[in-house]
Structure 1
Amino acid sequence: MNIFRTLHRSIVVLFIIVVVSIVTLVHISISNIVAEQSRAQQQSHSPALQLIVEELMKPLHISQTLVKARELHDLMGATTIDETQIFSTLKRMHNEFNLNFFIASENSRTQYNSDGSKIALIEGEVDWYFRYKAQPTDAMADIGQWQNPQFYIDLKVYDEQHKFLGVFGVGKGLKGFTEVFNDYKKTYGYDFIFVDQNNDITLTSNPELQIQGVTFKNMRDLPWFADLPTEQQQSLNNLLVPVEGVESLIAELNIQPFDWTLYLITPLQSRQTDISRGFIISIVTLLAIIFGLFLLIYNLLYYFKKDIQKIKQIDILTEIPNRSNVTLKFEELMYEKQSVSLVLIDLDNFTPINETHGRKAGDIVLRQVAHMLNNEIRENDILGRWGGGEFIILMPDTGPHEAAELCQKLCNKLAAMTITTGTTSIQITGSFGISFTAISRGMSEVISAADDALFAAKRDGRNVVRMQLIES
């Protein structure tokens, strides 16, 4: 199943439901006399609603899904940080989602950005990291990079022992927010103000209230807000207040994932007050519906995470599953409580082939060996490339002695192959190491036993099958 195609169709269906909801809510909230006028006003809000969904909700559920990926945890949890792999992963994410990503590593105290830059996380110089690290919350929305302001969603990353590994984040330039919101205000006359838990204005359609340098404007800086009684400042929902001399209705919506509040400010004509009030209630209800729908999509993505992780996890050279894919399949077998024999295959004297005949010849050898193994294994067996000249096979519901018999046939088949690389014929053999588990274990433990068996096979002259069972 193509998960993204299915998700796309689901979103289309959800938006059809939203459109139907818009029409229904508008019809209920206004009289028949002004129905056509109100529907036109409702449609004028579509660009703003689409912007909120695209610019806030989409980065949110993308980051919340990616932060659970094993690849990310492995990169950030490594004792020695592989900067090349980190930058490669961030660049791939940037190309796939058209967002800016970063990893702030606790191990290296360095922030790696998808544009290839990195920043040393020095206490006293990089305030946001240490301030966020000390907070109890695991997710935060923030504004950063004052020369080119970015809207960030920051998520803490922990390993399986709940050790703090650092912060994974997604960012998007504020230019798109400010330009579209400002155009929206000029066209339709409505103002948007997003504020954080400190009442600092983070996003707005009013250019005069946008971030200046490193300073946020605050709601208390607005004369109409400062003039309100203290109890009304706590909740502005459905309040009629004079804003710059114009009577306006304010709708309030809590954006819970960011701990932000959205104020939708609607200027009213005296004869349109009732119409606009019903209209704003409809919009707020619609925003709540959209927010709920995207939470639903996030939960679906969580359950489909394993399917998503499988995408593009094919070894390009051999066109069989790569290490990450095989690791995921092993975890699935453990989750399903299946016994499994794990086989490591190392091509004997593979490095000299590259040195003698060239890397192109080595690639041909790998492809033909992979093709042969893939044709010879059983339907339920899982073949993957483990790295270099190593392959791995998972044999579900197969005891170690049965696996040894199957591997001996593969070993003989491999030794009988003659691989032609242009004008050169190459004979190749392989050493096989087998381990087995009948209970749920970590893959590292099973791999370790298979490595010991593989070492024994090489020690015994190569081109043989050896088995190492895990001690109870």
Structure 2
Amino acid sequence: MAGGFLAISLLSYHTSKKAIHESIVTSQLPLTSDNIYSEIQKDLIRPILISSLMAGDTFVRDWVLGGERDGVAMQRYLKEIMQRHGAFTSFFVSDVTRRYYHAESVLKQVSADEPRDRWYFRVRDMKEAYEINMDPDLANKDAPTIFINYRVFDYGGRFIGATGIGLTADAVQKRIVDYQQRYQRRIHFADSKGRIVLSSRPELVGKPLAEIDGLATLAPRILSGEQGHYEYTAGSQLVQLNARHIPELKWHLLVEQDEDASLADIRRSLYLNIAIVALVAGFSIWLTALTIGRYQRRLEEMAVTDKLTGIANRQAFAPLIEQLLSELRRSPQAVSLLLIDIDHFKQINDTHGHQAGDDMLRTLAQRIAGSLRESDLIFRWGGEEFLVVLRDCAGENARHLADKIRMAVAATPLAINGTSLHATISVGVAERTEDEDIDHLIGRADQALYLAKRDGRNCSRAV
């Protein structure tokens, strides 16, 4: 009996060892990578969006084209950006005067002969719209800072400078260390050249991947954008590694775990009975479900909301739709769009005032959102337009939902500032075809909306 129990225990151990290996490779590391990707998007994608808005701001371009006469106005603008968005620093460098403007002063004039200014001339000559780079911040006693350097062009497409905001490297580094403590896995971020820019092991920052023990032969594959699972040996430890490319940051996310350390508990539990093993398995399933739930909540929190209506705005569309397309590549399903426009909205504004128009937008946005499933997405698309993305919804069902929303809006007056106002909407419906790109799908929904308006409004049409 003892021999039989030992044989069963050993068999159970080896089976569990294989299962743990597969769980690390196929579940735990990918899920951790997804969670960290979601959180780092909140930390760094928003600063990229802010820098993009600065680069396209008409004030910045008009101020440069006007001769940069009022330097205080630019400093005030940069200070407002820092205060409004909680940025560590903000800047603008003019290509006309080569002045480096900061919220407090004009720091200097950049020069091609000054090594510290090479970043600016690199940004000026690059083809990409922006870069993320870690440099000392002259305005803050050379504190290591992660800068988003965005190129600025005038209305004719001529390069006129670089702008953006910065985050303290220490603050982001602390988040990475927090990730390691929370997920019990080592996390690294490497740039496109293979240099570690952030790591839960601070001593590795600045070191090339090729110089890290065990990674020399894997570095070229990782940097080529080959995502997925890798395995290497560091000293006597077998390390499992999950790598993924983050195109928004132009970085590579590496999440790794020592397999031997993961087996320590199962070794100590070698002689425990199958009931305990079942309990551990049940706990693992619960933990995995909890992790997936947390990941989905993180994605929901990424959305940038429209201040007036409280729903997602147009800037939130790109990252959310990219996530949806990624899911569709793994699990294809029907997707439909509703493009909704409030009929005669200008007349409502002219007759009842802009405040009434704003109240109507808020009320209709909430009504439309209340008619949708949790998995659907709604965006304020334009002045009086809303875009709805329906997951797992074919065109016929989307048309039915569009008419249901439309009739509900038409049948129920809106109480605006004590006045009962009637509103109607027109809806364009389009179902995505296989491999159709999003811009083309939106164009078809817009065409359908045009047909609805041409046919008298307060109706829906599909293309």
TM-score of the two chains, using structure 2 as the length reference: 0.48
Give the number of the structure whose alpha-carbon radius of gyration is greater. 1
TM-score of the two chains, using structure 1 as the length reference: 0.48
